[in-house]
Structure formats: C-alpha cells, structure tokens
A and B are shown apart, each in its own frame.
Chain A
Amino acid sequence: GIQVEQSPPDLILQEGANSTLRCNFSDSVNNLQWFHQNPWGQLINLFYIPSGTKQNGRLSATTVATERYSLLYISSSQTTDSGVYFCAVNQAGTALIFGKGTTLSVSS
C-alpha cells in the first residue's frame, strides 16, 4: 500500500517563528489533506490539496503531485498552533492513509 512519511517528527518553536512541515508519499494520489489534532484530540481540517497551493491566514500548503510531496507552512506561530499535524492521502476508491504526524510545540 501507499506509504506516507512526515518530517520532522517533532518541532519546538518560539512564538512568532515560521516553520515548514513536509509530507512525502510513495505513489500518485487523488487526495491529500492536512489536519491539525488539537490537545483535545479533535482532527481539524486544514487543507484539501491534491495539487497546487492554498493559503488560509497564517497557514499555507503546497503539493507537488508529480514529485510526491506536500509542504505545510506556518508563519508567525502562536501557542494555539501547538498539537500534532497529520498529512493523509488516498487513491481513487480507497480510504485515507495517515502519516505518523509532526508534533509541534510553540512556547511563549
């Protein structure tokens, strides 16, 4: 099956810093989503981005489908950005497969 690798596994930032999270996948996909898991365990949809670039406030994402990777950018990080960021992909007719996540800790 398709493999999803996220890096780095852990990231510690001071408030105000920028960061880039990476997601590599082993085969072509029809869907790629980024999620933020907050301290209560909820999975919050950040981006649906099988290809191209999207921006939402301080967050943006880019997927280069031909090279099988996606990047999530967080600018001017805040303590509320802390949590685990998951990338998940799927191919047509199959369920989402999640990476192991990047745990982000932002301190004030």
Chain B
Amino acid sequence: EPEVTQTPSHQVTQMGQEVILRCVPISNHLYFYWYRQILGQKVEFLVSFYNNEISEKSEIFDDQFSVERPDGSNFTLKIRSTKLEDSAMYFCASRIWTYEAFFGQGTRLTVV
C-alpha cells in the first residue's frame, strides 16, 4: 500500500542551526502539507502546497520556514535558524483530488 515516508525519524539540532525535514508523498498525489505537534498538544497546520506553490499557510509559518518540492518526488520543510520552541513532531501529509489526507510517520525534532 502506498504511503507517505519521512526522513529522518528523529533529529537533534543545536539552537540556531538550519534543519531540513524530508518527505516523499504518495506518488500520484497533488496536494502536500506540513503539520507540527508540540509534545502533548494537538496537531497544528503549518503550510499547504499545490502546483508548485504555497496555497495556504498558518501564522506559525513565518519567515524562518520554507518549503520546496525540488524534484517532483520530494517535499521538504526547512527551518532556517531553529529555536527551542521548534522542538516538536513534524508531519508531512498528501492527498489526491479527494479530501482524504494521508500522513507520514513523523520526524521528531529536538532543539538543544
């Protein structure tokens, strides 16, 4: 069964460093998303991406964040200068033209 895959599963980084989280969405999907979940809290929307551009973003998705689909298969989230409060589980999701979204297994980011 096709699935969304994310790498790495866990990343530890120093405060102020840049990190790139990677996702391979399901191959025929058209809409791509990043969400985050701070420990013990609900899942929050960050950004959606369609037709090679951002279609929607939340207040959380400020200038420190960027997304890219560099090669037609990968979908990346970059955090330019990490802060302690960026520590969270980051989920990638994708969907085809129907509304059902499928989520990856997540990347746990720890900023120290």
Contact = CB atoms under 8 A, between A and B. Distances in A.
Same assembly: yes
A99 interface: yes
Contact of A94 (B42, B43, B56): B56
Contact of B103 (A43, A50, A95): A43
A88 B99 contact: no
B43 A86 contact: yes
B33 interface: yes
A68 interface: no
Interface size class of A (residues with CB under 8 A): 20 to 34
A42 B103 CA distance: 8
A59 B99 CA distance: 21
B106 interface: yes
Given A31-B99, A98-B43, A43 B33 contact: no
A30 B99 CA distance: 8
Contacts of B35: 96, 98
Contact of A43 (B55, B58, B106): B106
Interface of A: 30-31, 33, 35, 40-43, 45, 48, 50, 86, 88, 90, 93-101
11 contacts: A41-B37, A41-B89, A41-B105, A42-B105, A42-B106, A86-B42, A88-B43, A95-B58, A96-B35, A96-B93, A100-B42
